[in-house]
C-alpha cells in the first residue's frame, strides 16, 4: 500500500453524493493559555486541551486485483522526542478498490511542554513485523501563562 497524503484538521466531511471529502481547519499551531496563581508557579505536568480533531490519510494500491490489508498507527511524539500516545487502526482494501481514506477521530490533546509535536503516520502490511513511518505532521504548541486574578 502506498501512502499518498495525510493532514491534521479539526474535522472532515464526506459528501454522500460525490464521495468527495472536505477538510476543515487544518491544524498547524495551537496556543494554550494556562492560569497560574503566581507568575513563578510551576506548570502542570499535563495540560488537557478539550479539542476534537482528526488525522485523515489517503492510501492507494498499485493493483486493483489484489486484496490488501494493513495496520496503521498514528504516534504522537512530544518536543523532547518521547512518545505521548498512539492510535491503531486496521485498513482493508478488497479487490476492485484502489484507494482508501482513513480517518482517525481523536478527542482531547495532552500537552506536556511547548514546542513541536509530531504526528507520525506508520503502516505495517500483513506479513511485516515492524511498522514503517511514511509521513510526519508537525503541530506547533505555544503555552502562555496567565496570572489568575482574584475577584
Confidence band of 64 (pLDDT split at 50, 70, 90):
confident
Mean of all residue pLDDT scores within the chain: 91
Confidence band of 150 (pLDDT split at 50, 70, 90):
low
How is residue 68 written as a grid cell? 490488501
Q: Where are the domains of the chain?
A: 2-145
Q: Is the pLDDT of residue 128 over 70?
A: yes
DSSP tag of 149: P
Fold of 2-145: Immunoglobulin-like (2.60.40)
Nearest to 32 by CA among 53, 48, 10: 48
Per the CB < 8 A criterion, the answer to whether 102 and 91 are in contact is yes
Bigger pLDDT: 145 vs 131: 131
The stretch 57-78 carries a mean pLDDT of 94
Amino acid at each position: 500500500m502506498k501512502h499518498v497524503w495525510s493532514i491534521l484538521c479539526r474535522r472532515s466531511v464526506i459528501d454522500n453524493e460525490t464521495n468527495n471529502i472536505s477538510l476543515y481547519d487544518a491544524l498547524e499551531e495551537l496556543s494554550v493559555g494556562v492560569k497560574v496563581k503566581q507568575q513563578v508557579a510551576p506548570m502542570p505536568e499535563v495540560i488537557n486541551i478539550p479539542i476534537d480533531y482528526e488525522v485523515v490519510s489517503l492510501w492507494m494500491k498499485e493493483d486493483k486485483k489484489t486484496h490488501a490489508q494493513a495496520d496503521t498507527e498514528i504516534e504522537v511524539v512530544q518536543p523532547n522526542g518521547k512518545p505521548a500516545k498512539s492510535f491503531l487502526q486496521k485498513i482493508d482494501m478488497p479487490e476492485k478498490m484502489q484507494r482508501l481514506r482513513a480517518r482517525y477521530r481523536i478527542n482531547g490533546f495532552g500537552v506536556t511542554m511547548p514546542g513541536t509535536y509530531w504526528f507520525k503516520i506508520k503502516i505495517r502490511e500483513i506479513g511485516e513485523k515492524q511498522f514503517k513511518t511514511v509521513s510526519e505532521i508537525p503541530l506547533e504548541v505555544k503555552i502562555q501563562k496567565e496570572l489568575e486574578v482574584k475577584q
